[in-house]
Chains A and B, each alone.
Chain A
Amino acid sequence: MEYMLVLFSDPKPLMTMKPAEMEQMAGAYYAFTQALQKEKAFIDSRRLKTAADATTVTQNGGKSKVVNGPYIETKEELAGYYLIDVPDLDAALKWAARCPTAGHGHVEVRPIWPMPG
């Protein structure tokens, strides 16, 4: 089954991180990604720029409304995702627990809607 690990974290601590800490964090994500690839569970992953750089669009009666910022303002914001392919929810939960984000934020595990064909 395919799942998306949806990563939520507070961007504030990142802004004051020392280079050594930054490097350590990047290393942790790199290792996590490597492990997923090695286990043939990895499909895709991206990190997002902060929600401060988001723009939100909605359409109503043919009129677009464009708003500066994210759809929902939260302390912990959507920060990125991992798309994985694993046998079942238990396996997905295991990977979610290993994801470095789980240590300082939250990882939401969402099954991917299966497309026909």
Chain B
Amino acid sequence: MAEGGETAKATAEMVARRSYGKLVAFLCARTRDVTAAEDALAEAFASALAHWPSRGVPDNPEAWLIAAARRKAIDAHRAAKRGENASAHLSLIAEELATASIGEIPDERLKLLFTCAHPAIDQEMRAPLMLQTVLGFDAAAIASAFLVSPAAMSQRLVRAKTRIRESGIPFRIPAREELAERLPFVLDAIYAAYAEGWSDPMGTDASARQMAEEAIWLGRLVAMLLPDEAEALGLLALMLHSHARRAARRDADGEFVPLSEQDAGLWDGAMMTEAEALLRRAAAMNAIGRFQLEAAVQSAHAVRALKGAADWAAIVTLYDALSVMTGSPVVAINRAIAIAETEGIAAGLAALDAPDPRSLSQYQPYWSARAHLLAGMGAVDEARAAYDQAIGLEIDPAVRRFLQKKKARLAH
């Protein structure tokens, strides 16, 4: 019964969140004021979340929400009129809600995504802003995913929304010639929202897991609204490939399981198939990019589900290309591990230390990769020291326990 209640609540939350973004976007496109739009809708959503789980989700959730928000906005407008400052925005919002009749809400969420990921917004605030304005996550949930205090996150969100209004950041989809420049910001922010949800340190935090799923949903939205953008498809394929492994990422005791040791039978076949189809569609557009390459790496790992082994040669080639494109340390480390698989451990170690190792000395994946390779060579003492360094730098307790186990398993 409690289970059923939870499901009803989750369904209500999901439906509300979908409609939330649509209604916020609809109002913002007209008033440019995210805060005012959210304020106008807040009570309507609070009452939806209070009523829907027990009474069931209405047939037309948006009509229900518009009716509720319109009542609230009219009340607030009347109250403001009696006060000194009759807010122009409030009356505008009440009018907009009055004209928005059932089923006629245009989908302006893509505009809102471009606003949230505008280059004039701090890069690290773009994903949190999307999660709040398009998906309706509260500041506390976002704060916990991004490892920031709720008060700080809430303050930054308020500041970012004020900036949208005060600096005149537009609500529109960039023109063709600007799209190439602006779309990557949107995709990066969606991926950041996904990665923060996914990294979910304990693997048990429902809101973080949900955040990853919501990020995928945003990825679907962008891929649907911009079907000719290869990187939008690439991002969705990447997230789907990664999410397909969610059940295999922890064992029965909740312990971390690295990709190479995961049971491929637990991977989600339907999700992988969908990812592959997206990648093929993207490839046909001849506009290669970072997300397509990363998705292709995941695709080469996914081959293990069918053939028993990952396509390591392809993985090395893909990481070569990614390394040139991004110069990222994560890519360099993963490339070294792939080289160890194809050319042997010595070659892998050489590749790992090819960039200046000092720049990676505080980076956990560098040390765990190093320990892994050294252990494979039988350099036990060095491997043990590298594991210690990795354990000391890791923040996820499950990963820390995994590394400790690896270290303990080294031959004496």
Q: Is the CB of B166 within 8 A of A90?
A: no
| CB of A14 closer than 8 Å to a CB of B | no
Interchain CA distance A3-B169 in the complex, whole Å: 12
Interchain CA distance A56-B158 in the complex, whole Å: 36
| B60 cross-chain contacts in A, Cβ below 8 A | none
Taken residue by residue from 152 to 166, chain B's Cβ proximity to chain A (1 for < 8 Å, 0 otherwise) reads as 000000000000001
| CB of B395 closer than 8 Å to a CB of A | no
What interface size band does chain B fall in?
A: 10 to 19
| CB of B168 closer than 8 Å to a CB of A | yes
Interchain CA distance A88-B170 in the complex, whole Å: 6
Which of A3, A90, A92: most chain B Cβ within 10 A? A90
Q: Is the CB of B170 within 8 A of A111?
A: no
Interchain CA distance A114-B178 in the complex, whole Å: 29
| CB of B120 closer than 8 Å to a CB of A | yes
Q: Is the CB of A111 within 8 A of B166?
A: yes
Closest chain B residue to A92, Cβ basis? B168
Taken residue by residue from 117 to 137, chain B's Cβ proximity to chain A (1 for < 8 Å, 0 otherwise) reads as 010100000000000000000
Interface residues of A in 31-78 (CB under 8 A from B): none
Interchain CA distance A87-B118 in the complex, whole Å: 16
Q: Is the CB of B166 within 8 A of A87?
A: no
| CB of A1 closer than 8 Å to a CB of B | yes
Interchain CA distance A3-B166 in the complex, whole Å: 11
Closest chain A residue to B166, Cβ basis? A111
| CB of B167 closer than 8 Å to a CB of A | yes
Interchain CA distance A111-B178 in the complex, whole Å: 22
| CB of A89 closer than 8 Å to a CB of B | yes
Taken residue by residue from 74 to 87, chain A's Cβ proximity to chain B (1 for < 8 Å, 0 otherwise) reads as 00000000000001
Taken residue by residue from 172 to 184, chain B's Cβ proximity to chain A (1 for < 8 Å, 0 otherwise) reads as 1010001000000
Q: Is the CB of A90 within 8 A of B167?
A: no
Interface residues of B in 329-385 (CB under 8 A from A): none
| A1 cross-chain contacts in B, Cβ below 8 A | 168
Interchain CA distance A53-B288 in the complex, whole Å: 54
**CB proximity of A112 to chain B, nearest CB, Å:** 10
Closest chain A residue to B32, Cβ basis? A88
Question: Told that A88-B170, A89-B168 touch, could you supply 6 new A-B pairs with CB distance under 8 A?
Answer: A89-B118, A90-B169, A90-B170, A111-B166, A111-B167, A111-B168
> Closest 10 CB pairs between A and B?
A88-B170, A89-B168, A1-B168, A88-B168, A89-B169, A90-B170, A89-B167, A111-B167, A111-B168, A89-B120
| 15 pairs of residues in contact across A and B, judged by CB atoms under 8 Å | A1-B168, A88-B170, A89-B120, A89-B168, A89-B169, A89-B170, A90-B170, A90-B172, A90-B174, A90-B178, A92-B168, A93-B120, A111-B166, A111-B167, A111-B168
